[in-house]
Amino acid sequence: MSQPSAQKAFASQADLAERKITFEQLSAHCWAYTAEGDPNSGVIIGDKAVLVSDATATPAMAQDLIARIRALTDKPIRYVLLTHYHAVRVLGASAFVAEGATEIIASEGTLELIHERGAQDMQSEMERFPRLFRGAESVPGLTWPTLVVGGGTQGRITLDLGGVKVQIWHPGPGHTRGDTIAWVAQEGVLFSGDLVEFEAGVYTGDAQLEEWPATLQALRALDAEFLVPGRGAAMKGKADVNRALDYTRLWVQTLYRCGQEAVAKGLDLKAAMAHTRAAMDPIFGHVFIYEHCLPFDVSRAFDEASGIKNPRIWTAQRDKEMWAAMQS
């Protein structure tokens, strides 16, 4: 079980160990790019074009993924899907544009969030995750979508990559209010972004916690055979897909319940952290980036339970003030 420490390094600043990258084929056209709890990407290779789901944290980091794709195909990497706006997912996109990508895809909600808080998020995440942002000098600035998907069923788009079709839509709020998925129905492969995680911390600092379980249920209804979660190993087989959905739902519901209880008891934020740890440490305390996520998660759960529906913007200054206040 994880224990708090007065000397604990901020966020993931002490997390400097390299992760083993796995690039594995899941179906005829779909691959998972995973890294032991680091942010995942997905790849769909058609006869005419390639789609990448989540672009990595920097253009320098994206070069490894591009090299792995190029070892398989010379087809153009035409599409990059931003499953949401967080910097670790989107700032590598310019490397794919340089490779020939003509469309950067995101939802209306994600575009709104980039306008609203993208610059603050970029600074905040770079300070939280120095290992992931090595080579940050290669980032030309914020990543802006060129193809925006609307909300609801009318906002779904289908891309024909040649021999494989990819459905892209916003299934509902959860990790953010703009989460977008890629679904390859003919092969049963779901690319969920951070709406689903497995055996890794579920970051909820910008989440819509109350609605998230319903969005997970919408994903469950797809009855996927394979799942590339935002973090954690690729899930193979319906039983494992459901395990990941259950894992994420349990995290979200436990966290939000603890936030509601803390507010109802009149606890302050530090006491809310202790209350939440009592419930979550025994279940999740062993997983990757648990200690990183929990202070941000408790802050958001406390806010949402207090009636703050639109998550407050994280800045580098707010990050560190919150972190210091949470420590023993």
Q: Where are the domains of the chain?
A: 22-326
Average of per-residue pLDDT across 187-206: 98
Helix boundaries (H) for 226-289: 238-264, 269-284
Edge to edge, the sheet with strand 38-45 lists 22-25, 30-35, 38-45, 50-53, 77-81, 103-107, 147-149
Residue 192, SS3 per DSSP: strand
Residue 62, SS3 per DSSP: helix
Range in 5-14, 23-32, 314-323 the model is least confident about: 5-14
- pLDDT at residue 11 is higher than 70: no
Query: Can you say how many angstroms the Cα of residue 46 is from the centroid of all Cα atoms in its chain?
Result: 25
Q: What are phi and psi of 235, to 5 degrees?
A: -95, 130
Which residue in 159, 121, 158, 161 sits closest to 143, CA to CA? 121
Q: What percent of the chain has pLDDT over 90?
A: 83
> How far apart (Å, rounded) are the C-alpha atoms in residues 95 and 9?
31
Structure tokens at 170: 């916003």
> How far apart (Å, rounded) are the C-alpha atoms in residues 190 and 9?
35
Average of per-residue pLDDT across 170-186: 97
- pLDDT recorded at residue 166: 98
- pLDDT recorded at residue 4: 42
- pLDDT at residue 25 is higher than 90: yes
Asked whether the beta carbons of 149 and 103 are under 8 A apart, the reply is: no
Average of per-residue pLDDT across 207-211: 98
More confident residue, 12 or 280: 280
- pLDDT at residue 241 is higher than 60: yes
Residue range 64-120, pLDDT digits in tens: 999 999 999 999 999 999 999 999 999 999 999 999 999 999 999 999 999 999 999
Asked whether the beta carbons of 47 and 19 are under 8 A apart, the reply is: no
- pLDDT at residue 197 is higher than 80: yes
Architecture of domain 22-326: 4-Layer Sandwich (3.60)
Which residue in 306, 276, 305 sits closest to 291, CA to CA? 276
- pLDDT at residue 6 is higher than 60: no
Query: Can you say how many angstroms the Cα of residue 179 is from the centroid of all Cα atoms in its chain?
Result: 9
Residue range 262-294, pLDDT digits in tens: 999 999 999 999 999 999 999 999 999 999 999
- pLDDT at residue 326 is higher than 70: yes
Residue 104 neighbours by CB under 8 Å, 6+ apart: 80, 82, 93, 97, 143, 144, 145, 146, 147
Q: What percent of the chain has pLDDT over 70?
A: 93
> How far apart (Å, rounded) are the C-alpha atoms in residues 75 and 55?
18
